[in-house]
Structure 1
Amino acid sequence: MAIQPIRLFGDPVLRTRAAEVTDFDVELRKLVADLNDTLVDEGGAGLAAPQLGVGLRVFVYHCDGFAGHLVNPTFDFVGEEYQEGPEGCLSIPGFRWNCRRHLHVVANGWTMHGEPVQVEGSELLARCIQHETDHLDGVLFLDRLDPELRKQAMAEIRSASWFQPAESTNQPVIKTSPHPLFGKLR
């Protein structure tokens, strides 16, 4: 069990749909423990495996007095009511914007031991479940903002000290000189 670095906005793993978990083994239990340790260290409400660079459908939550994890989660909306409130993300540190979510959901999934589980609770937990399940589908809460607010949010993110445009995160290209003496010992 260890605290892991969190992938930040711009990392392609955050925009990739995570794969279904098929092996409920010791590696899955280690992943859940790492997610929990990292979440507690960061003080967030939820953390999905892609945020640690792992493309599996797993997330943990510590939200409004509820704590746990879900493997291969799905959820159903309960009613037609919505909530709008501030939402943030550990992969977009230091920012919060109002985001619209369903008010109530019931989530179904599996524990790390392969046992079925159902989760429902507060409005805050409903927001967390929707947010973390979005991560598993390669969706960020920014995608749920109204267009004008999203434009503003993107401008603010681009000015953040941690933000690196996608082209700057690539590995450096090592070029060799076409000239016979450059890059060679004499």
Structure 2
Amino acid sequence: MPKLLIIITHPNPILRKKSAKIEKADEKTRRLILDMEKTMLEFDGVGLAAPQVGKNIRLIVINTKDGPIAMVNPKITRKSWRKELGEEGCLSLPGVNGNVKRHKKIRAVYCDAKNKKRGIKAEGLLARVIQHEIDHLNGVLFIDYLPAR
């Protein structure tokens, strides 16, 4: 049965580390995916990256209109030149929000929990969430895009 995970908050240094590639999703990875999905939904998140639960691996879960999807080793392969400003928050930065410019449309590739290669075209909020979560895998937080105060 999936369990709730503790969400790591800023300024924990794990949030600033580049995450390691997953060679092959195994049963342990699949259990982590279920735990991350439960945690994301419990805290009303739209996405969650493995570093946010203390795991330094390239894994994200996204809450879509069709339910949660897991992305192992996600990589953005195309970005629209057009960007749009949108408000973002983060489970690792409770109470902090800011307007961030992100690519309006993206394409990404990833593997699912059973190691099958997949692709996704996204725009609007879904594109924003994927970009935000992949940033976590590279040690980047949305506050890095905000003007210095």
TM-score between the two structures when normalised by the length of structure 2: 0.94
Q: Return the alpha-carbon distance in structure 2 between the equivalents of residues 84 and 42 of structure 1.
A: 24
The alignment status of 1:23 with 2:24, answered yes or no, reads yes
- For 1:89, the equivalent position in structure 2 comes to 90
Q: Secondary structure at the match of 1:20?
A: coil
| 1:95 Cα offset (Å) | 1.9
Point out where structure 1 has 5 or more consecutive residues left out of the alignment: 152-186
**Offset, 1:104:** 0.5
Return the offset for 1:144: 1.4
State the TM-score, normalized to the length of structure 1.
0.76
Which residue of 2 is the match for residue 111 of structure 1? 112
Alignment check: 8 A CA contact 2:46 2:62 kept: yes
What is the alpha-carbon distance in structure 1 between the residues aligned to residue 82 and residue 68 of structure 2?
24
- Equivalent residue for 1:183? none
Task: Give the AA of the match of 1:34.
Answer: D
Greater share of strand? 2
Deviation per CA, 1:81-115: give whole Å up to 9, x if none: 00101000000012211011110001101011100
Backbone CA RMSD of aligned residues = 1.3
The separation in 1 between residues aligned to 2:116 and 2:48, in whole angstroms, is 21
CA contact (8 A) 1:49 1:59 kept: yes
The residue correspondences of 1:136-147 to structure 2 (distance < 5 A) are 136-147=137-148
State the number of aligned residues: 148
Distance in 2 between residues matched to 1:42 and 1:56, nearest whole Å: 21
Unaligned stretches of 5+ residues in structure 2 = none
Match of 2:48 in 1: 47
Matches of 1:118 and 1:136, distance apart in 2: 18
Instruction: Using the TM superposition, give the Cα deviation of residue 79 of structure 1 relative to its aligned residue in structure 2, in angstroms.
Output: 2.4
Q: Quote the offset at 1:64 in angstroms.
A: 5.0
Q: Is 2:62 the partner of 1:61?
A: yes
CA distance in 1, matches of 2:126, 2:10: 23
Tell me how far 1:121 sits from its aligned partner: 2.7
Paired with 1:62 and 1:53, the residues of 2 have a C-alpha distance of: 20
Q: Would you say the 8 A contact 2:61–2:69 is kept in 1?
A: yes
